[in-house]
Amino acid sequence: MRQYILRRLLIAVPSLLGISVVLYTVLALAPGDPFAELATNPNVPPEVALALRAKFGLDDPVYLRYFRWLAAMVQGDWGFSFVSRMNVDTLILQRLPTTLYVIGSAQLLALAIAIPVGVYAATRPYSIFDQIANTLAFIGFSLPTFFTGLLFILIFSVTLDWLPFVYSTDVKGTGIRWLFEQIRQAIMPVMVLGLFQAASMTRFVRSAMLDVIRLDYVTTARAKGIGQARVIVKHAMRNAMIPVVTLIALQMPAVFGGAIVTEQIFRIPGIGSLLISSILSNDTPVVMAVTFVFACLVVLFNLIADVLYGWLDPRISFR
Amino acid sequence: MLDTELKTMIDGVKDGRMDRRAFVQRMIALGLTAPMATQLLAVGGVAMAQSPAPYKPTKRGGGGPLKLLWWQGPTLLNPHFATGTKDQDGSRPFYEPLASWDADGNLNPILAAEIPSIQNGGLAADGKSVTWKLKPGVKWHDGKPFTADDVVFNWEYARDPATAALTIGVYQDISVEKVNDLTVRILFKNPTPFWADAFVAVVGCILPKHLFADYKGDKSRDAPNNLKPVGTGPYKFVEFKPGDLVRGEINPDYHMPNRPHFDTIEIKGGGDAVSAARAVIQTGEYDYAWNMQVEDEVLLRLEKGGKGKTVYSTGGDIEFIALNFTDPNTEIDGERSSMKTKHPLFSDPAVRKALALLVDRDAIQKHIYGRAGRTSANYLNGPAQFVSKNTKWEFSIEKAAKLLEEAGWKAGADGIREKDGKRLKIVYQTSINGPRQKTQAIIKQACQKAGIDIELKSVVASVFFSSDVANPDTYSKFYADIEMFQTPMTQPDPAQHMRRFHSRFVATKENKWQGRNFPRWVNKDFDAAIDAAEAEIDPVKRAAFYIKANDIMWQDTVVIAVMHRLKVGAAANSLRPALSGWTNDTDNLQDWYREA
């Protein structure tokens, strides 16, 4: 197994290099200029913008810029933001806790809804419960998050005035009150994201479970006189969870990557809003770092998913 | 005639026969008055009234938190590196200039003990130097005294090209010397009528020498205090998260009495303008939001029974359509819109005049800009003594059609006019922005009725306004027939605003399209008027030159003014922000308070 992991990690190196080349080229070809705002400001002489471009090496050929970036990245230097004039890693680390908290809670909420609802719906296919769960799931993943987000704001903030819709990084108060405020302001974004995720995941869990529940070994387990609950949880679910684990593992990078739309709507200072504002201001080093780290996480979690398969189903071997 | 009358009036104010207010009112009547009337008085030998802001609180602090919502968050806190209003605003609670602009365009002393004038000896009669006296006893947040050395240092810091300060344009052509610990003198190479640029308002914020002296030039980006400001301002730095949050707390040793009113300040960034308006006006989560680029209709709806209102301040920002004087469709030496070509349609003045007649400014104001816009025929809309009264605009499809008909542009089979085989087909480009696309639609409709075919083109703002040499869609390359956007006026003086159309600033491949005269218009009379204005010390003559320059632009239809835009903010009902259309919203932050 150790050999397997090592081999997979080695294979990851060329693919990550390939990803970085593609990302860098696309960003270099994309139109725009980090110092665009200066161009319309009559107070700033054009030479200043040119000097800044030279200072940040923007006038060098693309391949030179790429190799410079790669060399720095290998040494753990993520680059220097044009816009904030600070190191990219500090910028990202500052945003990470908020993203982990909000998106992570949303994922947990999605799992907490999807697994029991999906499993229960699968044990009673086409029952009233299943029908309702299905309908809600369809509604859930047909509504985009920007729509549900605005709807929630209108209902809970504007009309009812229960929840704040501007996420604040430094919540006033200490102890219980701090915790309460943190939870209160996260309710809406977590619900919006969590329900959206839960909807598609419920469908997934249900179909995975349906595939397994009809197999002979489940009938055998029932025939042995084991209770319904034990059969479902111990025998059926463990096997049904294999595809679900893949899905969850692939969604884990998103927990770090943030949710661009939702973060923008609720002004959550997470990675997603950092990415979008950096794209808008053409802050290439930040965009590059966020997307590349995201790519690394995707590769890493794929590996983790593969390793988990072996644990869930010992018949799957590592070759 | 005006000249002598004015001189008499200024003397009247000097002798106390006429008070300042009456003077300003008379000037309005003469069509000459303005915020800058006061600078006129200053040069005329009268001390500027230190316009006391109506500041009511009688003790420092006690106002609770001040929560500001900027839909683009500040990304850095060194005012010399600020790339836009958002960054300037982010550092303003901590750093201060010598003086700021108030709502009328008057100078308001902050770190200066008084505003320089001829009377107090601050202004040299030849216009070649200004002497600022600094307020004694001012301390940096870390307790060190603020002195003339700090002021001189900021000049050295900003003018060094290696520092890559964005304020370099303000500081590179002047020299600054220390007279004594509390006096500095700015020396200009040429007589400079508008002397209040360096160390004033947003570009004038002063960094402490003792913390930045080691980080001048190449090392500027390594200064630890780039992210941890230590200034003289009303608030002390607490926390900064780029693009998200700036937090400060009251400075108990602030140098102005009873100020600031608020105990803490918070600038939250991110999101969009509409939801920012909602958070202030409708739910009251925040006290003030900036730059409400939101349709008036939406704002009016939010204001109904809301917790806040919109506030407007008038400056000189102008939304306009520029006409290309070169041919965007012919390439010469790898450059379209080359100076060696002439525009095939616009070389006929009748076509340009007809276009101006087809811009329905009333409809644009009514349906798009609402309270945030004023119609105008001028490119130069303030301060008032620089505003021309000789121009007018009108909207008339019939007149436009008649004008074209007389010039020989006859309608073809499809209704599009043509002459000598040239059809009136025009590409009209602008940046992607709701109001701009609506304006395009209104103008296109009118043009169609007059027999002009308009092709609309919208470019993403980040491309349109970029200085990317490789991109063909930037406003400065101007590979279209007409284009529309807004130029802001960042100070109450027309010099920067008008200079850009001087023929020496034409944008060409040679200067990498960095020139600001993108219509590529060349007019000797205009150049002469601008050159004369920039060397003219007499404020009345100077104003006359700028009015003349504006009128030449109007006669030649270089640009078509679409809307004189006001600055819009959203404020909680109880908040009393001190705003000015001539500077950033935060320029007088120390005077903000909340009505009990």
**pLDDT tens digits, residue range B276-292?**
999 999 888 899 999 88
Say if the Cβ atoms of A37 and B83 lie within 8 Å.
yes
CA-nearest residue of chain A to B515?
Answer: A46
Return the pLDDT at B49. 44
Say if the Cβ atoms of B467 and A55 lie within 8 Å.
no
Asked if B317 and B486 count as a contact pair (C-beta separation under 8 A), the reply is yes
pLDDT at B83 over 80: no
**Per-residue pLDDT tens over the stretch A277-287:** 888 777 888 88
pLDDT at A25 over 70: yes
Return the pLDDT at B45. 42
pLDDT at B272 over 70: yes
Using left for φ > 0, alpha for ψ between -120 and 50, and beta otherwise, residue B228 falls in beta
The average confidence (pLDDT) of chain B is: 88
Q: How far is B356 from chain A (nearest CA, A)?
A: 24
Return the pLDDT at B10. 60
Structure tokens at B522: 């060349």
pLDDT at B46 over 50: no
Helix (H) or strand (E) holding B147: none
CATH architecture type of domain A91-279: Orthogonal Bundle (1.10)
pLDDT band at B22 (very low <50, low <70, confident <90, very high): low
CB atoms under 10 Å from CB of B82, counted, come to 26
Say if the Cβ atoms of B169 and A169 lie within 8 Å.
no
Interface of B with A in 100-119 (CB under 8 A): none
Return the pLDDT at B8. 62
Return the pLDDT at B41. 56
Chain A residues within 8 A of B243 when measuring between CB atoms: 84, 269, 273-274, 277
Return the pLDDT at A36. 62
Chain B residues within 8 A of A44 when measuring between CB atoms: 166, 168-169
**Per-residue pLDDT tens over the stretch B213-249:** 999 888 887 888 988 999 999 999 999 988 889 999 9
**Per-residue pLDDT tens over the stretch A206-253:** 999 888 888 888 888 888 888 888 888 888 888 888 888 888 888 888
Say if the Cβ atoms of B270 and A38 lie within 8 Å.
no
Q: Which residue has the tokens 């994922």?
A: A107
pLDDT at B2 over 60: no
Is the minimum CB–CB distance between A164 and chain B shorter than 8 Å? yes
Q: How far is A77 from chain B (nearest CA, A)?
A: 15
Optimal mutation site among B287, B467, B473, B475, interface A, most CBs of chain A within 10 A = B467
Return the pLDDT at B19. 63
Q: Quick one: average pLDDT of A39-49?
A: 64
CB atoms under 10 Å from CB of B167, counted, come to 26
Q: Which residue has the higher pLDDT, A48 or B108?
A: B108
Say if the Cβ atoms of A33 and B466 lie within 8 Å.
yes
Q: Quick one: average pLDDT of B352-360?
A: 95
Chain A residues within 8 A of B266 when measuring between CB atoms: 170
Interface of B with A in 124-183 (CB under 8 A): 161, 164-170, 172
Return the pLDDT at B98. 96
Structure tokens at A217: 């070994």
Is the minimum CB–CB distance between A3 and chain B shorter than 8 Å? no
Provide the b/e sequence for A112-121 (b: ≥16 CB within 10 Å).
ebbbebbbbb
pLDDT at B1 over 50: no
pLDDT band at B40 (very low <50, low <70, confident <90, very high): low
Return the pLDDT at B454. 95
CA quadruple B132, B133, B139, B144: dihedral positive or negative? positive
Chain B residues within 8 A of A164 when measuring between CB atoms: 283, 285
pLDDT at B48 over 50: no
CA–CA separation, B296 vs B99, rounded Å?
33
Chain A residues within 8 A of B463 when measuring between CB atoms: 31-32
Q: Work out the percent of chain A whose per-residue pLDDT is above 70.
A: 94
Chain A residues within 8 A of B170 when measuring between CB atoms: 43
Q: Quick one: average pLDDT of A65-77?
A: 86
Is the minimum CB–CB distance between A155 and chain B shorter than 8 Å? no
Is the minimum CB–CB distance between B213 and chain A shorter than 8 Å? no
**Per-residue pLDDT tens over the stretch B450-485:** 999 999 999 988 788 877 777 889 898 999 999 999
CA quadruple B356, B394, B439, B502: dihedral positive or negative? positive
Return the pLDDT at B25. 63
What is the reported pTM?
A: 0.81
Is the minimum CB–CB distance between B504 and chain A shorter than 8 Å? no
Is the minimum CB–CB distance between A216 and chain B shorter than 8 Å? no
Q: How far is A212 from chain B (nearest CA, A)?
A: 45
Is the minimum CB–CB distance between B45 and chain A shorter than 8 Å? no
pLDDT at A302 over 90: no
Q: How many CB pairs under 8 A join A and B?
A: 165
Q: Work out the percent of chain B whose per-residue pLDDT is above 90.
A: 58
Alpha helices per DSSP H over A56-160: 62-74, 88-123, 128-142, 145-152
Say if the Cβ atoms of A84 and B75 lie within 8 Å.
yes
pLDDT band at B511 (very low <50, low <70, confident <90, very high): confident
Q: Quick one: average pLDDT of A18-36?
A: 81
Return the pLDDT at B33. 45
Is the minimum CB–CB distance between B247 and chain A shorter than 8 Å? yes
Residue B162 DSSP one-character state: G
Say if the Cβ atoms of B227 and A86 lie within 8 Å.
yes
Chain B residues within 8 A of A84 when measuring between CB atoms: 75-76, 242-243
At CA A286, angle to CA A282 and CA A291, rounded to 5?
A: 105
Is the minimum CB–CB distance between B510 and chain A shorter than 8 Å? no
Using left for φ > 0, alpha for ψ between -120 and 50, and beta otherwise, residue A125 falls in beta
Return the pLDDT at B28. 60
Alpha helices per DSSP H over B304-366: 349-357, 361-364
Chain B residues within 8 A of A157 when measuring between CB atoms: 283
Say if the Cβ atoms of A267 and B271 lie within 8 Å.
yes
Interface of A with B in 268-287 (CB under 8 A): 269, 273-274, 277, 280-282
Within chain A, which residue ranges are assigned CATH 1.10.3720.10? 91-279
Optimal mutation site among B172, B380, B466, interface A, most CBs of chain A within 10 A = B466
Interface of A with B in 56-75 (CB under 8 A): none
CA-nearest residue of chain B to A275?
Answer: B243
pLDDT band at B21 (very low <50, low <70, confident <90, very high): low
Return the pLDDT at B513. 84
**Per-residue pLDDT tens over the stretch B295-344:** 888 899 989 877 899 999 988 899 999 999 999 999 988 889 999 999 99
pLDDT at A27 over 80: yes
Q: Which residue has the higher pLDDT, A133 or A247?
A: A133
Return the pLDDT at B354. 95
Optimal mutation site among B171, B265, B462, interface A, most CBs of chain A within 10 A = B462
Say if the Cβ atoms of A37 and B84 lie within 8 Å.
yes
The average confidence (pLDDT) of chain A is: 84
Using left for φ > 0, alpha for ψ between -120 and 50, and beta otherwise, residue B574 falls in alpha
Is the minimum CB–CB distance between B394 and chain A shorter than 8 Å? no
Q: What is the DSSP string of B426-458?
A: EEEEEES-HHHHHHHHHHHHHHHHTT-EEEEEE
pLDDT at B60 over 80: yes
Return the pLDDT at B81. 87
Q: What is the DSSP string of B234-281?
A: SEEEEEEETTTEEEEEE-TT-SSTT----SEEEEEE-S-HHHHHIIII
Q: Quick one: average pLDDT of A106-114?
A: 91
Return the pLDDT at B44. 46
Asked if B428 and B446 count as a contact pair (C-beta separation under 8 A), the reply is no
Contacts of B509 (CB under 8 A, 6+ apart): B333, B334, B335, B338
pLDDT at A181 over 50: yes
Of B172, B270, B487, the CB nearest to A267: B270
Structure tokens at B549: 């320059």
pLDDT at A319 over 80: no
Q: Which residue has the higher pLDDT, B380 or A309?
A: B380
Of A32, A85, A265, the CB nearest to B76: A85
Is the minimum CB–CB distance between B301 and chain A shorter than 8 Å? no
pLDDT at B70 over 70: yes
**Range of weakest confidence among B3-12, B127-136, B143-152, B231-240:** B3-12
